[in-house]
Structure 1
Amino acid sequence: MNASVVDTAALEWVNGADVFATMDPAFRDNIGTDEASALALLATYHAKCLWKDESTGRRIDHIRCEAGYRDLSEAYHDSVEECLVLGGSVELTAEGWFEPGDYFWRPPGWVHSAQSPRGFEAVLMMEGTQPCEGSLHVSRVVRPDADAGQHVAVADPVGPRGYVRRAESRHMPWRAHDDSGTLLGAAGLESKVLSDNPETGTETSLVRFVAGTAATPQAGPHERFVVIVDGEVVLDDGRRLGAGSLLRAAGGEELPAFAAPDTVVAMVKTCPAQHTAAPPKEL
């Protein structure tokens, strides 16, 4: 299977209420106290699905929530949840206020909810079934408000990456990038490591490509995702991909070669290699 390219400009924003009936029951039945309240909340939630693996449940979404968004209950997931905020601001009861560039990696079992008076935009990821990350299937389990910020599941409360409650990347220095795991094939890269798994050598990082950088990625053992956060890259075939676009390669595959005419920042996520999956068709 060839590497995948998802151009965000070619995707329509999908309203959450429009896909309510197709959601996994473990999510759909635990959003609100009834269907009407759930649909009202989902009407303020918009997403572009950048990647979805039907077999493991892993998904990467570009999401946008309107001003006044507020979860209807506290809850936890059986899956690892990971997020990088791109714009606006959002408060998570377990982690605090998030602004652009803030990131979390949350192991399963931590009770939380979100509220955003101004609205926010983010890259939101659910790991799905991945034993080496301590992650189980995607779910939503409602809990009492008094449980907010507590770990209540049987799963390890720390996980192999640790509980990254809020990494404020704007306060982190850019450092020379170690390309041994990402294999992006470009000189002079700088990065900020947001989370990493010492058992597998995989990580999620922000990587900066200075203007004029040409990247010729090599094949490597890990599954790799590159999500453009700021700027625009140009593929060898001339296609231009802006912020919110995604490149993906399975283990043993090469990512597409690309150039950065101007400075580009990307979120690069490496994962233990697993079987390939089809590009996403729906939210």
Structure 2
Amino acid sequence: MAINQINNYIRLIDEHNVNKTGNIYINILKNEFIMLDEEIIIPRIPVSKLSYNEALPIVQTIIPIIPQFLSGHTLLEERQPPHELHSLHFTKVLEGSCINFYHVLRLDFKFGGDSSSIIEQGNNDYYPVYRTGRLYYKSRLVPTLKDFSDPITSIKLIQSITTESDQYFHTYAIFDDIDTSQQTNEFIQTLPDIFSIPATLYPFIVMDYYTACMNVPNPVPDELNRAVTIFEPLFFIIASHFLNVDVISPIDVLEASFSGLLEIQDNKFSPTPDLIQLSKEYFK
């Protein structure tokens, strides 16, 4: 199976290999992309869905370019979220003190619309073959319990959202193409002023997978470990405003694990000055 071949290629990545990439940018849609040191060619992709057989040569092309992003990851057999039909979703589990985290890397290969990069025209069934010097992606830490499972099983803070459309209210339990900015703002408002970039420009904390996730724009191994260290206590602050955190981990265990970083009052956590300072240094 192609998925097994792809995962075998990833397992063979030498941990000493480094990315052949440049700067990371955010476009107007708040999508991250990284500049590549060399252009790559993306073959024609079906409009309906990128299959793993068709993805195999693409993965073979990008592994030497972003080995640090992919090292230790596994390609998901079922995409999460499932509507991203032209993306490949890779996951890696990172251990925290009281909970674990999935790192989810979602690489998007759908043609972006720059006609000058087209090598071969597309049609009703296929996107064009194109040349690109950038790679679009999402990179997120998703909190999960210590006894995590596959597929991605997050610590849910939100069960559903209700949106208004055509004068009717609609409730969604799965967030495919649904505006979750309100929930993202609610998460961020539980935290102090620790972000150097306004959330309106780029939110480091976002609502995804029914929970509060953290964007990690440069997901090389060292940065992922740093992100887990910062995000875990911040996540418990957010979570304490939406559920009883005892269902995640006993309060006394949390207090011992994050001594000097978290304070509790009225069953809600707040950051100590030390955590605020550490967070500001991380997000600067």
With CA pairs under 8 Å and 6+ residues apart, which has the higher RCO, 1 or 2? Answer: 1
| Structure whose alpha-carbon radius of gyration is higher | 2
TM-score over 0.5 for the alignment?
no
Higher strand proportion = 1
Please give the TM-score of this superposition, normalised by the length of structure 2: 0.28
